[in-house]
């Protein structure tokens, strides 16, 4: 048998077959590692489903990728074989092509392990969101040991792969190629070619589509469905066109959205444009906190046993608090864009830096306040180049963006720049100066202390009641806010200032579904002892609604050309939000997850049910889809036609 395999199977076929087996083992190892790191997410799942995810659907996705990698080497080594020649250069080139492709595969797979722990999703093109500021990215990676772990995995697996693949290459290349007659040569070319075709296709059945994303969804356990994906496939799939075309034409989407928002079609260029008349007698200062990753799951108002956010809890008890509030997306740029300009997150569109929107004008809260002679500033602890915040915000209503470059070098504490405390002290001083010069101000602040991986100073650990991450990180972030508010209460401008506290997004805590609700359920508090009494708003609210609600509370005259509403005059039927390539829609009973038009699920989420009841409740699901997509398609229409500024 050994002699038969050595002399009667062509050299190139043996080489490619061994390379395929080794590559499949590498990808299987990453899938098993993903399972091991998230073993808690398969509690109660059938063992048959686990094995099916690992070695059936998962194997097919890995096989597809592996065969794509080996296609060019197969063709390169087959040409000499068909000519009955042994050209070693063809093998050398093929081996390098395989190694380079697999190293990329390993890099993506290593990053995928960390990506999933943060986003509760297999890797997407969101992994490149930070690459526009490589300096910050590298500093953060150097300071956060979790990144070093996954970088170490990449180095070790890559080294092992190259070693074994080189052994395979050397073992085959030294063997003398055997001559085959033309019939055998054609047979050994066309049969592997056919197998290659069907392997990439993922099926021998021509009555069904080739292997695609929907094939991964076989189980009621969302983690096992995601586990089936090959990370490279997931990454490439995320680049699929996200053009929203749920309705046949944009006019239908606009009519539907206007109906749900309770508005009449405007005669202005922007069909949503609404003029709101107020007295404009108050004009208080506004300090607007965008709180990094402030998920309700870490707020002790909703989890009394945690003791994580005593300051925010107190502010909620004395201000207007929104207990059923949701972020537009899962990224900071979503929070900035939707909170200030009243438009939703359109899948993985990056509004602050995309080619389409980075240079557009958006009418929103900063511009409204600037028109009322407010001084408008935005503060970040790190670089304003991150997500193009400076480049986007300054043309869209902010006078200045104050970033890490505005502080002494010795105040920089880590890759994120200065601490929240340093930034807060700068804000306190600047507010004093603006008050002395009789200026009203609108201050936006993006905090950092509660960011995943943020390291708390050693001197502060002993002051915290929580001793474990992530709880102590949130307690630390709340402590910084408390110190700021205690200082602010002694300032001359405090009584004439409204404070807004909102999460930029949530975090991947206790995921139940493949779209994690805790990544979207966030805190919103509007606090001002002078202007507002305590009130608890329990209906749905979205980040898009912040500026129309705030302007109306302050009795401002303003133009609302967004898709946000004044929550005290309009009750939202549903909450909706996007998680890159997924859409979530929520009411008091049902949670709809839209992955694509052929892959939609509906759950009763209050009891964390994993039973998909979409087919039994199609009418309800259609209503939820219609609501959300009318908003997304309308927002896309406004952007495509540059109707986001006042004409």
43-57, 210-224, 243-257: which range is least confident on average? 210-224
Among 101, 56, 105, residue whose Cα is nearest residue 74: 101
Portion of the chain with pLDDT greater than 90, in percent: 70
Between CA 278 and CA 554 the distance in angstroms is 8
Record the tokens describing residue 173, joined without a space: 């290349």
pLDDT bin (cut points 50, 70, 90) of residue 5 is very low
Contacts of 577 (CB under 8 A, 6+ apart): 326, 327, 328, 329, 344, 345, 520, 542, 583, 584
Between CA 46 and CA 609 the distance in angstroms is 16
pLDDT bin (cut points 50, 70, 90) of residue 133 is low
- Across the range 79-98, mean pLDDT stands at 89
357-415: pLDDT as tens digits: 888 999 999 999 999 999 999 999 999 988 899 999 999 999 999 999 999 998 988 87
DSSP category for residue 295: B
412-431: pLDDT as tens digits: 888 789 999 999 999 999 99
Query: What does CATH list as the number for 250-640?
Result: 3.40.720.10
Q: Give the pLDDT score at 218.
A: 87
Q: In the predicted model, is pLDDT for residue 337 greater than 80?
A: yes
Q: Are 224 and 49 in contact (CB under 8 A)?
A: yes
Q: In the predicted model, is pLDDT for residue 129 greater than 80?
A: no
Between CA 179 and CA 187 the distance in angstroms is 14
Q: Write b or e for each residue in 249-270: b if 16 or more Cβ atoms lie within 10 A of its Cβ, otherwise e.
A: ebeebbbbbbebbebeeeeeeb
Q: Are 94 and 72 in contact (CB under 8 A)?
A: yes
Bigger pLDDT: 595 vs 458 = 595
**Domain coordinates in residue numbering, the chain:** 2-237, 250-640
263-292: pLDDT as tens digits: 999 999 999 999 999 999 999 999 999 999
445-479: pLDDT as tens digits: 999 999 987 878 777 766 889 888 899 999 999 99
Beta bridge pairs of residue 576? 585
Q: Alpha carbon 224 to chain centroid distance?
A: 20
Beta bridge pairs of residue 440? 374
Q: How many C-beta neighbours within 10 Å does residue 595 have?
A: 18
State the burial class of residue 521 (Cβ atoms within 10 Å of its Cβ: 0-12, 13-18, 19+): buried
Beta bridge pairs of residue 591? 586, 603
Mean pLDDT, rounded, of the chain: 91
pTM attached to this predicted model:
0.88
Q: Which residue has the tokens 């902010």?
A: 398
Q: Give the pLDDT score at 50.
A: 93
Q: Give the pLDDT score at 4.
A: 39
Bigger pLDDT: 214 vs 396 = 396
Q: Give the pLDDT score at 242.
A: 66
């Amino acid at each position: 048998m050994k002699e038969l395999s050595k002399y009667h199977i062509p050299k190139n076929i043996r080489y490619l077959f061994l390379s395929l087996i080794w590559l499949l083992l590498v990808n299987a190892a990453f899938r098993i590692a993903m399972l091991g790191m998230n073993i808690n997410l398969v509690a109660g799942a059938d063992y048959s489903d686990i094995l099916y995810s690992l070695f059936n659907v998962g194997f097919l996705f890995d096989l597809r990728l592996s065969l794509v990698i080996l296609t060019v080497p197969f063709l390169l080594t087959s040409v000499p074989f068909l000519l009955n020649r042994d050209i070693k250069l063809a093998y050398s080139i093929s081996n390098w092509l395989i190694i380079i492709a697999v190293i990329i595969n390993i890099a993506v797979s290593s990053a995928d392990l960390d990506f999933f722990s943060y986003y509760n999703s297999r890797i997407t093109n969101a992994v490149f969101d930070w690459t526009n500021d490589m300096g910050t990215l590298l500093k953060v990676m150097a300071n956060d040991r979790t990144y070093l772990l996954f970088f170490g995995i990449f180095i070790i697996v890559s080294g092992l792969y190259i070693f074994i693949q080189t052994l395979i290459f050397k073992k085959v290349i030294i063997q003398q190629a055997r001559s085959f007659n033309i019939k055998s040569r054609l047979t050994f070319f066309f049969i592997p070619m056919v197998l290659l075709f069907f392997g990439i296709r993922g099926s021998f059945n021509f009555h069904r589509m080739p292997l695609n994303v929907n094939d991964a969804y076989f189980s009621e356990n969302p983690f096992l469905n995601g586990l089936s994906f090959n990370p490279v496939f997931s990454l490439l799939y995320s680049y699929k066109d996200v053009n929203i075309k749920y309705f046949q034409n944009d006019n239908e989407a606009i009519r539907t959205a206007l109906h749900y928002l309770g508005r009449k079609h405007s005669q202005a260029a922007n069909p949503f444009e609404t003029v709101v008349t107020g007295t404009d007698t108050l004009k208080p200062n506004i300090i607007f906190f965008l709180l990094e990753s402030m998920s309700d799951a870490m707020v002790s108002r909703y989890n009394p046993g945690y003791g994580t956010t005593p300051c925010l809890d107190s502010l909620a008890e004395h201000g207007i608090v929104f207990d059923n509030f949701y972020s537009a997306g899962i990224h900071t740029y979503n929070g900035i864009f939707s909170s200030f300009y009243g438009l939703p997150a359109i899948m993985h569109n990056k509004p602050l830096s995309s080619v389409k929107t980075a240079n557009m004008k958006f009418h929103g809260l900063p511009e409204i306040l600037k028109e009322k002679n407010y001084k408008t500033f935005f503060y970040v602890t790190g670089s304003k180049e991150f997500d193009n915040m400076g480049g986007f915000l300054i043309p869209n209503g902010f006078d200045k963006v104050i970033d890490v470059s505005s502080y002494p070098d010795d105040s920089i504490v880590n890759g994120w720049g200065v601490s929240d405390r340093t930034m807060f002290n700068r804000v306190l001083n600047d507010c004093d100066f603006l008050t002395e010069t009789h200026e009203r101000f609108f201050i936006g602040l993006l905090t950092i202390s509660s960011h995943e991986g943020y390291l708390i100073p050693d001197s502060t650990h002993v002051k915290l009641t929580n001793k474990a991450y992530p709880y102590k990180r949130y307690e630390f972030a709340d402590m910084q806010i408390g110190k700021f508010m205690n200082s602010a209460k002694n300032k001359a401008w405090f009584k004439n200032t409204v404070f807004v506290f909102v999460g930029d997004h949530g975090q991947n805590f206790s995921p139940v579904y493949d779209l994690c609700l805790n990544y979207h359920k966030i805190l919103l508090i509007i606090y001002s002892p002078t202007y507002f009494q305590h009130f608890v708003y329990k209906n749905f609210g979205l980040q898009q609604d912040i500026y129309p609600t705030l302007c109306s509370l302050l009795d401002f005259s303003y133009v609302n050309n967004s898709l946000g509403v004044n929550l005290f005059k309009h009750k939202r039927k549903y909450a909706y939000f996007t998680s890159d390539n997924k859409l979530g829609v929520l009411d008091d009973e049902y949670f709809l997850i839209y992955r694509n038009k052929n892959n939609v699920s509906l759950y009763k989420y209050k009891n964390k049910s994993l039973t998909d009841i979409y087919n039994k409740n199609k009418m309800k699901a259609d209503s939820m889809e219609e609501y959300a997509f009318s908003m997304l398609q309308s927002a896309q229409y406004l952007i495509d036609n540059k109707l986001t500024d006042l004409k």
